[in-house]
């Protein structure tokens, strides 16, 4: 077996010792529920890439809705984190503070996610015309059910709102902008009868983008009717979520920035983002060299434990360039010293096998739960390693 030197120190992070201190903080005035309240901006900041938040924490008005509307936990994580990443194209983390969405509540978002109803359907449901807010296509309710779902799939799966606050000269904060994420279905699922089999209809990506842009225009129109959103910059991003069986997330396909005084969407910026599973035939076909690098890493891990074969990676590409790689290693240990030794070995492999410009995260788990986490940020000289106790 080859010997590997550890280029990075093993850091056993004690949560109590690493918790941020809020003693050094800034107090500001925030408008909340039509009244001014004192809020706190902690001075502690993890990274220049992250937004600071204000205290006390205000949960989203639609908190928890994303979990029931998106297909997988991978889609949920990428939808939320990716939306914050795209926000930086419009709202600099140096100048803006993050707050979860406060304008759209659960009932409002749920009503927007419905199908549009015909007049007869409204009458049947005893609904008023002003309640007919669905942004998804009408299901006529008559005719062949397969044809109806083929022609009128559910495009919009979820709406996520993020707020960005800006500090003013009088030591207060106010709403400086809003980012809206529209999660779209790459696959439409439907049933022909209650509790029956589930059928699926693959939605063409080009068609999905067109429908997403139409929905975005209507969403902007509705947002501008809200008093607090009449004159703030708004960013709307389209996210194509993956099918329910996928083990990698979907991706953002485009976004648009709308000026504070504009009621119309102008140019859309297309995004070339994609996730791949390592190893997989799809990744091998498109990014053979990267898969080979991962395979060499995988073989080195298997050399340490000859009977082990379970290393899986999720690679994120932007403009055909590998940006980050998240690796899961589920393995059974028979003692703490064995876990520490293996973690040190893997930390060395990361530095040896993967180019410095790629961000790499390795999660080592066992039947007892998380064992270790290794993080090597892009262009970082040494990995940060946390061994759970």
Q: What is the pLDDT along the chain (389 residues), one digit of tens a residue?
A: 333 333 333 333 333 334 444 445 565 556 555 556 667 777 766 677 789 888 888 888 888 899 989 999 999 999 999 999 999 999 999 999 999 999 999 999 999 999 999 999 999 999 999 999 999 999 988 889 999 999 999 999 999 999 999 987 777 889 999 999 999 999 999 998 888 899 999 999 999 999 999 999 999 999 999 999 999 999 999 999 999 999 999 999 999 999 998 999 999 999 999 999 999 999 999 999 999 999 999 999 998 887 677 899 999 999 999 999 999 999 888 788 888 999 999 999 999 999 999 999 999 998 889 999 999 999 999 999 999 98
**pLDDT confidence of residue 11:** 37
**pLDDT confidence of residue 292:** 97
**pLDDT confidence of residue 25:** 57
> Reduced to 3 states, what is the DSSP secondary structure of residue 17?
helix
CB burial of 262-290 (b: ≥16 within 10 Å; e: otherwise) equals eeebeebeebebbbbebbbeebeeebeeb
**pLDDT confidence of residue 38:** 66
> Reduced to 3 states, what is the DSSP secondary structure of residue 195?
coil
Question: In DSSP terms, which residues pair with 7 in a beta bridge?
Answer: none
Q: Where would I find the H helices in the chain?
A: 15-18, 65-69, 73-87, 106-113, 119-125, 145-151, 205-224, 281-286, 288-304, 336-353
**pLDDT confidence of residue 34:** 52
Bond preceding residue 171 cis, omega within 30 of 0: no
Quickly count: other Cβ atoms within 10 Å of residue 236's Cβ. Answer: 26
**pLDDT confidence of residue 324:** 97
What does the block give as tokens for 164? 């960005």
CA distance 158 to 70: 7
**pLDDT confidence of residue 106:** 95
Q: Which residues fall within 8 angstroms of residue 5, CB to CB, at 6 or more apart?
A: 348
**pLDDT confidence of residue 56:** 81
């Amino acid at each position: 077996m080859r010997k590997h030197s550890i280029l990075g120190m093993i850091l056993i992070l004690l949560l109590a010792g690493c918790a941020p201190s809020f003693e050094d903080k800034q107090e500001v005035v925030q408008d909340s529920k039509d009244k001014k309240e004192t809020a706190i901006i902690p001075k502690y900041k993890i990274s220049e890439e992250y937004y600071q938040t204000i205290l006390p924490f205000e949960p989203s008005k639609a908190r928890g809705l994303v979990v029931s509307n998106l297909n997988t936990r991978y889609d949920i994580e990428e939808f939320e984190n990716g939306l914050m990443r795209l926000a930086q194209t419009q709202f600099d983390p140096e100048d803006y503070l993050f707050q979860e969405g406060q304008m759209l509540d659960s009932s409002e978002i749920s009503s927007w996610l419905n199908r549009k109803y015909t007049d007869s359907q409204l009458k049947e449901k005893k609904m008023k015309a002003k309640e007919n807010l669905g942004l998804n296509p009408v299901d006529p309710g008559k005719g062949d059910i397969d044809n109806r779902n083929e022609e009128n799939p559910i495009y919009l799966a979820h709406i996520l709102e993020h707020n960005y606050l800006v500090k003013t000269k009088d030591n207060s904060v106010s709403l400086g902008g809003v980012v809206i994420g529209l999660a779209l279905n790459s696959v439409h699922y439907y049933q022909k009868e209650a509790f029956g089999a589930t059928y699926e209809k693959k939605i063409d990506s080009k068609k999905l983008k067109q429908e997403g842009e139409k929905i975005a225009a209507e969403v902007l129109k509705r947002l501008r009717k809200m008093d607090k959103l009449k004159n703030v910059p708004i960013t709307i991003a389209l996210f194509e979520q993956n099918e329910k069986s996928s083990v990698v997330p979907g991706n953002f396909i485009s976004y648009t920035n709308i000026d504070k005084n504009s009621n119309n969407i102008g140019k859309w910026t297309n995004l070339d983002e994609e996730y791949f599973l390592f190893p997989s035939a799809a990744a091998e076909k498109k990014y053979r060299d990267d898969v080979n690098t991962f395979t060499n890493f995988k073989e080195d891990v298997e050399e340490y434990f000859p009977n082990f074969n379970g290393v899986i990676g999720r690679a994120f590409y932007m403009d055909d360039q590998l940006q980050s790689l998240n690796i899961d290693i589920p393995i059974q240990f028979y003692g703490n010293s064995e876990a520490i030794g293996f973690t040190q070995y893997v930390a060395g492999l990361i530095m040896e096998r993967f180019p410095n410009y790629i961000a790499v995260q390795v999660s080592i788990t066992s039947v007892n739960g998380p064992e270790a986490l290794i993080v090597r940020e892009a262009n970082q000289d040494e990995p940060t390693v946390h061994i759970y106790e």
